[in-house]
Structure 1
């Protein structure tokens, strides 16, 4: 089995980083919902003794988890931007080679272009 091309490797790297970002965004949304619900329960409690004794501590820990998840996005965005740049270079190299050979685009190149657009969108998103 031949080793994967540099274009294939760059494509897979961008795909992985985009999936990783989607995972962290979903996790952040779940965490924020837990924080919202817990804060709402604490605020709605008429008698503080009816609350779990650790409710305030749990809320603090959940807020810390939200902050830690948010901290992942800046380095992840940087790595994604670097991977997108590498993929752009690999696409340019493959296109130049195809132009020299007189061949049209191939499936790997088409997939790389699609993944490139996805990666560029991910980099453009606000944190």
Structure 2
């Protein structure tokens, strides 16, 4: 089996980073829901500690977004370079996947702005 082309590797990188960004958004929503549930709960002697821990985890998740977005921007640039290079010897299916990955990456970047 032939090794994957540079185009396929770059496409996979963008796709993975977009999925990573999506999973962090899901985690953020779950953390916010846990915090709301904790704030509404009564009679828990560890409520303050647990709430503080959950808020810290929420902040850490929020701090990840700028780094992930920067990595997505860099990966999209590399993929565009691969797609526009003379060496883009990929078949039509690989090129289509690359274009879709670029569109998804740019959408994430635009939503962040």
SS of 1:125's partner is helix
- Which one has a bigger Cα radius of gyration? 1
Question: What is the aligned residue count?
Answer: 112
Match of 2:100 in 1: 114
Alignment of 1:56-95 (within 5 A): 56-93=48-85
Shift, 1:97, TM fit? 5.8
CA distance in 1, matches of 2:67, 2:30: 21
The answer as to whether partners of 2:15 and 2:101 remain within 8 angstroms in 1 is yes
| Aligned position for 2:111 | 125
Residue 54 (structure 1) aligned with residue 54 (structure 2): no
TM-score (norm 2): 0.91
Q: Deviations over 1:14-63 (max 9, x none)?
A: 0000010111100010000100111122xxx4xxxxx1211111011100
TM superposition shift of 1:11:
0.1
| 2:26 match | 26
Find runs of 4+ consecutive structure 1 residues off by over 3 angstroms.
none
The TM-score normalised by the length of structure 1 is 0.82
Which runs of 5 or more structure 1 residues have no equivalent in the other structure? Answer: 46-50, 99-104
Q: Which runs of 5+ in 2 are unaligned?
A: none
